Amino acid sequence: MNAGAYVVAAVCVVLVVGGFSAAGIAVRRRLIADLEGPDAVLAACVLALSMLFVAAWILGAVGELRRLPLLGVAVVAGGTGLCTLVRAPAQERRRGARVPRGCPSAEAVVSVGAVAVVCAQWLSRTVAALQHGITDYDSLHYHLSHAARFAQTGSVFPLYFTTPDAPVAFHPSNAELLHGIGMVVTGRDVLSPVVNLGWLALALLAAWCVGRTRRVPHLALLLMAVVAGLPVVAASQAGTAQNDLAGLALVVAALALIEKSPRALAVAGLAAGLALGTKLTLIVPVGALAVALLWAERRRVARTVLTFAVPIAVTGSAWYLRNLAATGSPAPAADIHLGPLSLPSTNSLIANRYGFSVAHYLTDGHVWRHWLLPGLRQAFGTLWPVLLALVGGGIAFGARGPRVTRVAAFAAAASAVAYLVTPTTALGFEGRPVYFGPNLRYATPALATALLALALVLPSFRGMRPRMVATGVAVAVLAAAELAPQAWPDDHRAVAIACSLTAAVAVALALTLRSHVTAVVVLVVVAVVAMVGFFPVQRAYLRDRYTHDAVHLWARRLSGERIAIVGFDTAYPLFGDRFQNRVQYVGHRGPHGEFTVVRSCGEWRWL
């Protein structure tokens, strides 16, 4: 983008982000005024995201997910929010204006250092993506392809197939919708490589808020940094469009807000619903949170359902309703039976032939020696047994702790069991689960909730020794993970470390200032500097993205063409740098969402 187009895009981004942020802050202050500090920030973030996704879904349902309608909604929401904030009583605006500061503890220094290392790790991969484009297979296969189709058509309703015999067309797509919003607002995909940095920040903030429930915020932050720094997480999420960390951040946000106040429970439900609309495998963690909460509040079930389950339906049902309308089932990839009622389902060739679960190999010693144990070491680092011991301790001890700890432990246990029996967790030929290691990212909800349960239960023990031991062990696990060969990319480490240190200094300066207004001003100045500095970065990105493949270069020069593909999975670059081409995998559409492969040239010509 030239300077003029960049300024227009930047203004549009500021209007959308600022508008929904102001609306989120206003609603939070109006409905949950008792929240303060990080808890208030987290609740405002969840509310802002909820309003953004609901607005985008409504616009997309009528085919109007375009720049001007979205800007109009953002301006109206932001203007209403600002008016509400300005009219707030003076004492409410002054609440928390002065916050006492103390000397940082050793635990605080360790947790902040761990976060800095993980941020440098993530930034190094993000810088690589900004250099040549996102190259992750799943991102190019369907995450970004779905986002580009949303931006291209302005609609979220039609099913879009990027390959036959695979259920990705039916997956919930909140993360892809967010990428699509970025494409709509800027006209390009310059925000996509950095989107997951925002989800990382939300996950770390949510973990801090979980820890505040039991006065262990630094330990909770450290343990979340451990999860984010695992090689399988950093390699698959940083600088990509994958949605595992996005869903995890929303699950942890829901857990963080459950105990804050009765009204905050509704915001927790919104976060849980957003998670449900982000990734299909999060049905079990979200369901476990709901079941555990309903059991804990069994004397007030009706109120709990109203304040927690209804918000889940508001933000988490859209994609499943779309599937129901299009195929007759909310999840066509699953074989759903409700008594005598059987919902339509589609057959997935990949899942049927190669989609084995980890449970399938639990008693297979050969597979353990040659695939599962090496996969655990590559995905989690050399201290993976220690990590799993921490997870087991969190589930075992958390089950006997306070209510929020029991909820976290139950969600972790249910997620762990679900992971073991989920198809494709040991994807590959029979006896050769080659994708077991990469697909260990499906276990991150179990890991994170179990580790947070461990942090929450430690204050129940006498003395500081258990916390000190847990902190030391967590640091060792993180160090082993960061030293793994696949934890960092081959280059860009120096740039990432410099950016991390600069960001850390800015955040530390904002936190040490006694006035919240001054802190906000500092962060705004940093944001403006970042936007100015991003101008040459995005120009280089748009110049060099996807220039290493002749097919991608060919598609880039086209404009307004219809491109049909067969046997070509990474279709996203074919859309072009302005999404000017329409790309469609050619196949046979059948009833109830079936989409099968073309098997001959005659079929190809006929279609």
pLDDT in tens, 192-220: 999 999 999 999 999 999 999 889 999 99
Cα separation, 219 vs 440, whole angstroms = 24
pLDDT on residue 505:
63
Q: Work out the average pLDDT over 28-51.
A: 93
pLDDT on residue 512:
56
pLDDT on residue 587:
87
Over 60: is that where the pLDDT of 527 sits? yes
Cα separation, 27 vs 29, whole angstroms = 5
Percent of the residues in the chain that have a pLDDT greater than 70, as a whole number: 91
Over 80: is that where the pLDDT of 74 sits? yes
pLDDT on residue 125:
92
pLDDT on residue 194:
96
Chain-centroid distance, C-alpha 277: 11
Instruction: Find which of 86-90, 257-261, 453-457 is predicted with most confidence, using mean pLDDT.
Output: 453-457
More confident residue, 605 or 234: 234
What are the backbone dihedrals phi and psi of residue 565, each rounded to the nearest 5 degrees, phi first? Answer: -130, 150
The mean-pLDDT minimum among 207-211, 327-331, 519-523, 558-562 falls in 519-523
Please report which confidence band the pLDDT of residue 259 belongs to, taking 50, 70 and 90 as the band edges. confident
What are the backbone dihedrals phi and psi of residue 432, each rounded to the nearest 5 degrees, phi first? Answer: -135, 70
Q: Work out the average pLDDT over 286-309.
A: 87
pLDDT on residue 499:
65
Q: Which of 348, 150, 138 is nearest to 235 (CA)?
A: 138
pTM: 0.94
Q: Work out the average pLDDT over 100-121.
A: 80
Q: Work out the average pLDDT over 177-202.
A: 96
Helix, strand, or coil (residue 343) = coil
pLDDT in tens, 541-599: 999 999 888 899 999 989 989 999 988 888 999 999 999 999 999 888 888 888 888 87
Percent of the residues in the chain that have a pLDDT greater than 90, as a whole number: 64
What are the backbone dihedrals phi and psi of residue 286, each rounded to the nearest 5 degrees, phi first? Answer: -65, -45
Over 80: is that where the pLDDT of 84 sits? yes
pLDDT in tens, 137-170: 999 999 999 999 999 999 999 999 998 877 899 9
Block residue for tokens 């992971």: 419
pLDDT on residue 99:
42
pLDDT in tens, 528-545: 888 888 999 999 999 999
Could you state, in order of their start, the residue ranges of all structural domains in the chain? 3-512, 550-606
pLDDT in tens, 461-491: 888 888 999 999 999 999 999 998 888 887 6
Question: C-alpha dihedral over 340, 344, 346, 347, to 10 degrees?
Answer: 20
Block residue for tokens 């994170």: 448
The neighbour count for residue 63, using CB atoms within 10 Å, is 13
Chain-centroid distance, C-alpha 178: 10
Average pLDDT of the residues of the chain: 89
Please report which confidence band the pLDDT of residue 95 belongs to, taking 50, 70 and 90 as the band edges. low
pLDDT on residue 603:
73
Block residue for tokens 């060739």: 349
Q: Work out the average pLDDT over 94-107.
A: 55
Cα separation, 181 vs 250, whole angstroms = 19
pLDDT on residue 96:
45
Distances (CA, A) of 466 to 213, 224, 410, 456: 18, 18, 22, 12
Residues 372 and 361: beta-carbon distance below 8 Å: yes
Please report which confidence band the pLDDT of residue 345 belongs to, taking 50, 70 and 90 as the band edges. confident
Residues 232 and 379: beta-carbon distance below 8 Å: yes
